[in-house]
Structure 1
Amino acid sequence: MAQADMLWRGLRGVALTLVVVFFLFPIFWIVLMSFETNETVLQVPPTLTPHLTLQNYVALLSGKLNTATGIINITFLHNLWNSVLLSTCSVLVALILGVPAAYAFARFRFRGGEDIAFTLLSFRFAPPLLVLLPLTLYFQDIGLSNTYVGLIWIYQLICLPLILWIVRGYFEDASPDIEYAYRVDGHSWWKAFTKIAIPLAGPGIAAAALLSFIFAWNNFVFALVLASADKQPVTVGALAFVTASGIQYGIIAAAIVLSILPTLALALYAQRWLVEGLSLGAVKG
């Protein structure tokens, strides 16, 4: 019996190791590619002892890319700033609009409420290509084409439904009796909302905001069509590395590594709130 348990533990350890290696190997390979030249990346067969270099990161930070056809100016840092600006502002606007709306849908029952909530959620289901053409024409008519305001507005199709439906669940799990007792004590509805409801749903709001930020950061299609190069985020800016002299695989890998660092740092910093928010209400007493 003891030998069978040891064998089972050994097999489980091997299986878990294989799963971890399977999922982490692409990340390791991307990081390794970011320290290699294009010639090393394209070498066949690939070498097990590549010559590592920092020239890809130097090119991204300096804005100068040396190719066979000459020097190309790249705007990676500006694209990175665009991603930070667009994602942060989009999440803030979605929180300002979505948290009160989620509270209203959770606490009040009114005609058409569920239909409105589902309609907002359906924006998340719709393929971006379905709305790109009318949005492009509409934005051109009202002067929002190729503007930060227009992109932040359109990013609400990503952030607002996510925050609305996630936060609504946390408001529904929180007992309204605490708010009623606070209001009976002479406080206004707004104070009950800000002092009681929001702190109770705080972990859920933090988790929804983090997930919305990641989805907004990773968006590609909207910014590709609705913005020019000076307004595009880093996901679209990486297209600049597909040049006439070839695809710069090493610098693309370096750009990927640098572009995931902000979201990775944010996720690690907010890990406690993320885990608490996603598990809140999972166990019913």
Structure 2
Amino acid sequence: MEHTSTLERVLRGAALALVVIFFMFPLFWIFMMSFQTNETILRIPPSIVFEPTLSNYAALITGRLETAAGTLEINFLRTLWNSVFLSVTSVAVALLLGVPAAYAFARHKFRGSEDIAFTLLSFRFAPPLLVLLPLTIYFQQLGLSNTYFGLVWVYQLICLPLILWIVRGYFEDISADVEYAYRIAGHSWFATFRKIALPLAGPGIAAAGLLAFIFAWNNFVFALVLASADKQPVTVGALAFVTASGIQYGQIAAAIVLSITPTLALALYAQRYLVEGLSLGAVKG
């Protein structure tokens, strides 16, 4: 019996190690590529033994990319800042709109409430290409093309449905009796929402905001079409490394490392809330 238990633990550990290696190896390889030149990266057969260089990161920071055709001016740090600004602002607006809406859907059932909630969620399921053409036309007519305001607005198609459904599940999981008792004591609806519901749903709101931030950060299509180079996020700015003289694999790898660091750090810091938020939103929503 003890021998079987030990063998089971060993096999489980080996399986877990294989899974970790399978999923983490691409990240490890990209990290190694970021310290290599194009010649080293394209060497056949590939090798993990090489002389590391910081030239790729230096090119990103200085904005000067050396290619076979000459020096190419890039503005990677600007695109990185655009990603931070767009993602943080979009999530803040989505939380401001989505949390009260989620509370309303959780506590106040009315005719058509489920249909409205599902319609909002369907925006998240719709492929971006489905709404991209009408959005482009409307943005041109309204003067919102190539503006931060327009991008933050369209990012709500990504952030708002996600926040609405996850936070709604958290509010539904909170006993309404606690809020009723607070209301009976003479407090207003807004005071009940602010002092009772919000603190109790805090982990869910944090998880929803983090997930929305990750999805907004990774957005590519909307920013590619609706913004020019000075407003585009880092996901679109990485296209600058595909030049007429070739693909700059080392700079692309360095850009990936720098661009995924914020979301990876946030995900590792709040992974418990992420798992809890996803599972509860799936059950309650």
Same fold (TM over 0.5): yes
- TM-score of Structure 1 vs Structure 2, range by shorter chain: over 0.9
Q: 1:101 matched to which residue of 2?
A: 101
Which residue is 2:21 aligned to?
A: 21
The aligned residue for residue 72 of structure 2 is 72
Aligned to 1:246: 246
CA-CA distance at 1:93 after TM superposition:
0.5
State the Cα RMSD in Å.
1.8
Residue 36 of structure 2 corresponds to which residue in structure 1?
A: 36
Identity fraction in percent:
77
Partners of 2:273 and 2:11 in 1: how far apart?
34
Q: Name the TM-score, length of structure 1 as normaliser.
A: 0.95
Structure 1 160/50 Cα, relative in aligned 2: closer, same or farther at 3 Å?
same
1:101 deviates by 0.4
AA aligned opposite 1:152: V
CA change 1:282–1:60 in 2 (3 A) is closer
- The TM-score normalised by the length of structure 2 is 0.95
Deviation at 1:59, TM superposition (A): 0.5
User: Which residue identity lines up with residue 70 of structure 2 in the other structure?
Assistant: G
The residue aligned with 1:124 is 124
- The equivalent residue for 1:257 is 257
Q: Distance in 1 between matches of 2:7 and 2:102?
A: 51
**How far is the alpha carbon of 1:44 from its aligned partner?**
1.1
AA at the equivalent of 1:262: P
- Report the residue type matching 2:268 in the other structure: L
Name the SS of the counterpart of 1:164 in structure 2: helix
Runs of 5+ unmatched residues, structure 2:
none
Supply the distance in 1 between the matched residues of 2:61 and 2:112 (Cα, whole angstroms).
Answer: 52
Matched-pair contact (CA < 8 Å) for 2:34–2:254: yes
The whole-number CA distance in structure 2 between the counterparts of 1:128 and 1:281 is: 23
> Partners of 1:130 and 1:220 in 2: how far apart?
15
Q: 1:250 to 1:2 in 2, by over 3 A?
A: same
1:115 is matched with which residue? 115
Change in CA separation of 1:273 and 1:21 when aligned onto 2, cut-off 3 Å: closer
Q: Secondary structure at the match of 1:155?
A: helix
Q: 1:281 to 1:252 in 2, by over 3 A?
A: closer
SS in 1 for 2:71: strand
Report how many residues are paired.
Answer: 284
Alignment check: 8 A CA contact 2:166 2:281 kept: no
Task: Please report how far the alpha carbon of residue 109 of structure 1 lies from its aligned counterpart in structure 2 after TM superposition.
Answer: 1.3
CA deviation vs aligned residue, 1:135-194 (integer Å, no higher than 9, x gap): 000000011011000000000000000000000011011011111111111111100000
Deviation at 1:6, TM superposition (A): 3.2
Name 2:170's counterpart in structure 1. Answer: 170
Change (3 A) 1:198 1:253: same
After superposition, give the CA deviation of every residue in 1:19-51 in whole Å (9 maximum; x if it has no partner): 211111111100000000011001111134111
What is the CA–CA distance in structure 2 between the aligned matches of 1:259 and 1:113, rounded to whole Å?
Answer: 39
Q: What residue in structure 2 maps to residue 206 of structure 1?
A: 206
User: In structure 2, what residue type is equivalent to 1:69?
Assistant: A
- Tell which deviates more after alignment, 25-34 or 274-283: 274-283
Q: 1:282 to 1:111 in 2, by over 3 A?
A: closer
Is the 1:173–1:281 Cα contact (8 Å) retained in structure 2?
A: no
